[in-house]
C-alpha cells in the first residue's frame, strides 16, 4: 500500500486475519501505518524509481491516498505490476474535471458545473446557474475542504486560480443532507454495496456518519446504491469506492465527490458491518471473494476525533473507556494538533439517539470541548 | 509481548485501534506475529540478558506463552519492569503441581491429584482413586496434549518420568463435556467475565468452541464465572485468564487447566463479543478500563483450522470465502503442516445448528478432509 496514513494502518489491521503480507511505502517511519506494519519502505511516492523499487515483490499495489501521479501508475502497469484501482479508474478520483465530464457522460446526476478559465468566467458561470454563491474547486490536490472555495462575491473568485491548477465551477446545491454510497468491486466484477449512510461535515471535514441514513426512503437508498455500483463498473474501479452525495429537498441525489480507497464514511463498518470496508478493499484488490457488507446492528454511528488544545489525550482516553465499556475507539498513533484527525469512535445499538449521544460525547470529550 | 505466535499476532491486531506501540520478542523473523509487527526483536526468551534488553523502553511486558523462566521474570520485576501477569501469578500456569496445590487450598473444585514419585507411586495413586486409568502430567512444559499421558496399565506409567520433570497424577474424570470460563482482570482489580463456553477437543487439541455453552444451566454458568473471577483475584492474575473446566454428569464443575494469556477458547470473542479477549488482555496489562465482554450474537462458534496433507491452502481459502460471505477467517501466516494450527474460523448467528455447520464446513474444507 502506498501511503502511511490511518487508512493504511486500518487496512493492515484488516489484512492480518486474512494472512496477508502487507508492505508499506511511507513518507516517514512516524506515519500512522508505519508504526504498526512490519515491512515498511520509507520513500517519496512522487518518485517513479522509488515506486518501482517498492513494487518489487508485491503481488498488487493499492493506495492510502489519491496523490500518486497517474503517469507513474501507468509506467508500473506497463511493467506488469497490477495497480488497483488502476490509473484509468483512479484519474476520476484525482481530477474533478475528468470526474465531472465522465459522470455527466454516464448520465449520473451531478450539480451543474464547468471548467472556468478565470475569475470573470467564474462569475459568468454563476450567472448561468442563477447567480452567486457558487463553488470553485481546483481539479487536483484537494481533500477535507482544502482546494474548495465558497464564492460569495467576484473578489472571492480570484484565490482559487492562484495555484495555477484548472478550476472547476459548480452550482451551490441546496441540499438537506449529505449521504455516501459505498461499494467494493473486485477484478472479477463481483461487487457489494454497503447501506447508504448520512455524513455530517463540520468546516468541510467529516464529523459524524450514521449508518444507515435515518429516514432515507428505500427507493432513494436503492437508487444511490445502484448509482455507486454503476459508477464502479463503468469506471473499472477495483477496491472500495465512496460516492459522496447530496440529498436535495425534492428527494433527488447528486454526486458530490468520488474516492477510490477506504473512506471516512465507511469507518463505521469496522464495528457495525459483517465485513469492514478495509477487509473488503483488501479482498477486492487481491481478487478474493468479497465479504458480506450487511450491518450487524440497527444503528452504527462514527464520530471523528479531532485534536483539541491539549496535546495529552490520555486522561480523556481513560475516561471514555471507563464511562462506556461498549465504546469502540480507533486511534491513529498521531500527535495531537488542533483540528487534526487523530482517531474516531464507533458506537452501535438499537436506539439511534443513544448511539449518537455516546459517540458524540466520546469525540467531544477526547477533543476536550466538554469535560463532563 | 514475549513470544511470536498467533496469540501475539492477534494481540497486535487488537492493539492497533488502541493506538499502542507494540514491541515483540520473537524466536525468528518468520514467526506468526513477527510478520505483522513493526518493532520486532529476534532473540531467545530463555536468556535473561535478551529479556532485559528487550524490556528497555517497554511500559509493560506480557506474554504469548507460559514458557519464560519464572526466575527471569522475578529479575525483571526486581529491576522495576512491570511484568503482567506477574511471576507470582504465572507460576500457577507454568507448574501444574503449584496450580493444583493452590487451587486445593482455595477450595476450588479439582480432580483428585497428587505428585507421584515414580511409576509404582502412580499405580498406588490409581488404587487410591478407584483404579486405572489415571492421567499423568509433567508439571511443566505441556500444551495441546503434549506432556499429558492417559495411563491404562502400569507399563504406561513409565514414559512420563523420562523427562526428569516432576509428575502429577490426576484421577480420570468422568465428564460430559469441557467448558472454559474466561475472565480478564486489571491491576486496578477491575474484572470482566465472558460467557462460559463449551470447548471440544480432538486428540487433546482444541477443535471447536461454542459460545455460550449450549444448555448450560444459568446457575452452573454463574458458578463457573465466579470461580474464574475468584481464581484471578486470589492468584493476582493481570490480563486474560482461561479456566478450563470439566462438567460432570452430576452437574458439577472441576478445574482442568489454567492459562494466563489470550486462549484458544476465547478466539470466538474477536467476532462474537463486544470486546475481544485480545483487546481486553491489552487493556488489562496497560491498566486501562476494560471493555464490555458481552456476546453480540445468540451463538458464536470457533473451529480451529489445522494443516492437512496439502501445503497450498489457497484454493480452499478462496472457496470458503466465496461459499460463505459471512465467514470470519483468521489465518496465522504459518506454513501448513499436518495437524498444525494454522488459523481458525468464526461464525455467528441466531441458529446454533447453522452456525456450527458453517464453521465446521470451513475448517474441514480448509484442512482438506472434505472437498465439497
pLDDT tens, position by position, B13-57: 999 999 999 999 999 999 999 999 999 999 999 999 999 999 998
What local confidence, expressed as pLDDT, does residue A307 receive?
95
Same domain, B61 and B140: no
Which residues fall within 8 angstroms of residue B95, CB to CB, at 6 or more apart?
B139, B140
For residue A150, give the CATH number of its domain: 3.30.1490.20
Same domain, A266 and A295: yes
For residue A291, give the CATH number of its domain: 3.30.470.20
Q: Is residue B105 part of a domain?
A: no
CA torsion angle B282 B288 B289 B290 (round to 10) = 10
What local confidence, expressed as pLDDT, does residue A255 receive?
98
Same domain, B270 and B307: yes
What local confidence, expressed as pLDDT, does residue A145 receive?
66
Cis peptide before B212 (omega within 30 of 0): yes
What local confidence, expressed as pLDDT, does residue B14 receive?
98
Same domain, B183 and B159: no
Residue A29 Cα, gap to closest chain B Cα (Å): 10
Question: Which ipTM was obtained for this model?
Answer: 0.96
Which residues fall within 8 angstroms of residue A182, CB to CB, at 6 or more apart?
A193, A194, A197, A228, A240, A241, A242, A243, A263, A265, A266, A269, A277
**Helix residue ranges, H only, chain A:** 6-15, 48-55, 70-78, 87-94, 96-105, 119-128, 218-235, 269-272, 277-285, 314-323, 352-367
What local confidence, expressed as pLDDT, does residue B94 receive?
93
Residues of B in contact with A291 (CB under 8 A): 321, 325-326
Q: Is residue A103 part of a domain?
A: no
Each residue's pLDDT tens digit, B167-219: 999 999 999 999 999 999 999 999 999 999 999 999 888 999 999 999 999 99
CB atoms within 10 A of CB A87: 18
What local confidence, expressed as pLDDT, does residue B32 receive?
98
Q: Answer yes or no: do B12 and A328 touch at CB < 8 A.
A: no
| Residues B94-117: b if buried by 16+ CB within 10 A, e if exposed | bbbbbbbbbbeeeebebbbbbebe
What local confidence, expressed as pLDDT, does residue B240 receive?
98
Phi first, then psi: give them for residue B275, nearest 5 degrees.
Answer: -125, 130
Same domain, B284 and B299: yes
What local confidence, expressed as pLDDT, does residue A372 receive?
83
pLDDT band at A57 (very low <50, low <70, confident <90, very high): confident
What local confidence, expressed as pLDDT, does residue A163 receive?
85
Same domain, A126 and A20: no
Looking at every residue in chain B, the average pLDDT score rounds to 96
Residue A228 Cα, gap to closest chain B Cα (Å): 21
DSSP conformation class of A340: -
What local confidence, expressed as pLDDT, does residue A310 receive?
87
How many residue pairs from chains A and B have C-beta atoms closer than 8 A? 97
Q: Answer yes or no: do A275 and B17 touch at CB < 8 A.
A: no
Q: Is residue B103 part of a domain?
A: no
- Closest by alpha carbon to B288, among B297, B296, B298, B279? B279
Q: Answer yes or no: do A321 and B38 touch at CB < 8 A.
A: no
Distance of CA B66 to the CA centre of its chain: 10
Q: Is residue B43 part of a domain?
A: yes
Q: Among all residues of chain B, which has the CA nearest to that of A40?
A: B38
pLDDT band at B143 (very low <50, low <70, confident <90, very high): low
Same domain, B197 and B287: yes
Distance of CA B220 to the CA centre of its chain: 21
Q: Is residue B97 part of a domain?
A: no
- Provide mean pLDDT across the span B264-286: 98
Cell numbers 454497503 correspond to A194
Each residue's pLDDT tens digit, A268-325: 999 999 999 999 999 999 999 999 999 999 999 999 999 999 889 999 999 999 999 9
A235 and A102 in contact (C-beta within 8 Å)? yes
Q: Answer yes or no: do B36 and A16 touch at CB < 8 A.
A: yes
Residue B19, domain extent: 6-83
| Last residue of one domain, picked from the residues B128, B148, B171 | B171
Distance CA A233, CA A170 (A): 25
Which residues fall within 8 angstroms of residue A229, CB to CB, at 6 or more apart?
A183, A185, A191, A193
What local confidence, expressed as pLDDT, does residue B372 receive?
82
Same domain, A279 and A187: yes
Q: Is residue B56 part of a domain?
A: yes
Same domain, A74 and A189: no
- Provide mean pLDDT across the span A192-210: 95
| Last residue of one domain, picked from the residues B144, B171, B198 | B171
Q: Is residue B104 part of a domain?
A: no
Residue A15 Cα, gap to closest chain B Cα (Å): 9
Each residue's pLDDT tens digit, B287-318: 999 999 999 999 999 999 999 998 899 999 99
Residue A318 Cα, gap to closest chain B Cα (Å): 6
| Residues B234-249: b if buried by 16+ CB within 10 A, e if exposed | ebbbbbbbbbbbbbbe
What local confidence, expressed as pLDDT, does residue B144 receive?
64
Same domain, B24 and B40: yes
Q: Binding site annotation covers B172?
A: yes
Q: Using N-to-C axis directions, what is the helix angle for B6-15 and B277-285, rounded to 10°? A: 80
Q: Answer yes or no: do A17 and B331 touch at CB < 8 A.
A: yes
Same domain, A194 and A330: yes
Looking at every residue in chain A, the average pLDDT score rounds to 96
Whether the predicted pLDDT of A143 surpasses 80: no
The domain total for chain A is 3
Choosing among B24, B28, B38, which should be mutated to test the A contact, i.e. which has the most A CBs within 10 A? B38
Distance CA B218, CA B224 (A): 10
Same domain, B60 and B208: no
pLDDT band at A147 (very low <50, low <70, confident <90, very high): confident
Q: Answer yes or no: do B16 and A9 touch at CB < 8 A.
A: yes
Whether the predicted pLDDT of A142 surpasses 70: no
| Last residue of one domain, picked from the residues B171, B201, B216 | B171
Q: Is residue A282 part of a domain?
A: yes
Helix (H/G/I), strand (E/B), else coil: B124: helix
Whether the predicted pLDDT of B145 surpasses 70: no
Q: Binding site annotation covers B334?
A: no
Amino acid at each position: 500500500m502506498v501511503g502511511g496514513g490511518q487508512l493504511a494502518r486500518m487496512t493492515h489491521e484488516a489484512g492480518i486475519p486474512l494472512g496477508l503480507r502487507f508492505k508499506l511505502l511511507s513518507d516517514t517511519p512516524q506515519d500512522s501505518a508505519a508504526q504498526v506494519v512490519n515491512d515498511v519502505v520509507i520513500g517519496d511516492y512522487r518518485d517513479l524509481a522509488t515506486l518501482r523499487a517498492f513494487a518489487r515483490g508485491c503481488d498488487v499495489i493499492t493506495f492510502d491516498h489519491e496523490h500518486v501521479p497517474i503517469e507513474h501508475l501507468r509506467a508500473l502497469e506497463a511493467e506488469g505490476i497490477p495497480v488497483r484501482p488502476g490509473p484509468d479508474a483512479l484519474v476520476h478520483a484525482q481530477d474533478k474535471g475528468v470526474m465531472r465530464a465522465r459522470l455527466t457522460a454516464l448520465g449520473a446526476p451531478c450539480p451543474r458545473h464547468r471548467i472556468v478559465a478565470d475569475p470573470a468566467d467564474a462569475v459568468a458561470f454563476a450567472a448561468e446557474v442563477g447567480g452567486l454563491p457558487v463553488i470553485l474547486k481546483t481539479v487536483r490536490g484537494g481533500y477535507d475542504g482544502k482546494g474548495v472555495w465558497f464564492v460569495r462575491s467576484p473578489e472571492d473568485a480570484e484565490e482559487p486560480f492562484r495555484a495555477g491548477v484548472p478550476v472547476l465551477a459548480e452550482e451551490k446545491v441546496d441540499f438537506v443532507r449529505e449521504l455516501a454510497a459505498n461499494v467494493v468491486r473486485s477484478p472479477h466484477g463481483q461487487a457489494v454495496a454497503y447501506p447508504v449512510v448520512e455524513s455530517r461535515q463540520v468546516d468541510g471535514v467529516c464529523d459524524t456518519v450514521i449508518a444507515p441514513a435515518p429516514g432515507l426512503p428505500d427507493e432513494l437508498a436503492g437508487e444511490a446504491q445502484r448509482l455507486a455500483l454503476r459508477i464502479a463498473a463503468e469506471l473499472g474501479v477495483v477496491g472500495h469506492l465512496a460516492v459522496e452525495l447530496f440529498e436535495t429537498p425534492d428527494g433527488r441525489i447528486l454526486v458530490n465527490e468520488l474516492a477510490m480507497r477506504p473512506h471516512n464514511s465507511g469507518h463505521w463498518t469496522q464495528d457495525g458491518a459483517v465485513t469492514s470496508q478495509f477487509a473488503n478493499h483488501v479482498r477486492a484488490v487481491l481478487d478474493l471473494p468479497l465479504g458480506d457488507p450487511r450491518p450487524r446492528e440497527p444503528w452504527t454511528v462514527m464520530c471523528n476525533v479531532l485534536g483539541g488544545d491539549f496535546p495529552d489525550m490520555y486522561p480523556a482516553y481513560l475516561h471514555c473507556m471507563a464511562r462506556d465499556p461498549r465504546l469502540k475507539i480507533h486511534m491513529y498513533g498521531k500527535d495531537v494538533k488542533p483540528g487534526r484527525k487523530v482517531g474516531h469512535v464507533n458506537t452501535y445499538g438499537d436506539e439511534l439517539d443513544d448511539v449518537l449521544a455516546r459517540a458524540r460525547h466520546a469525540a467531544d470529550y477526547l477533543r476536550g470541548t466538554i469535560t463532563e
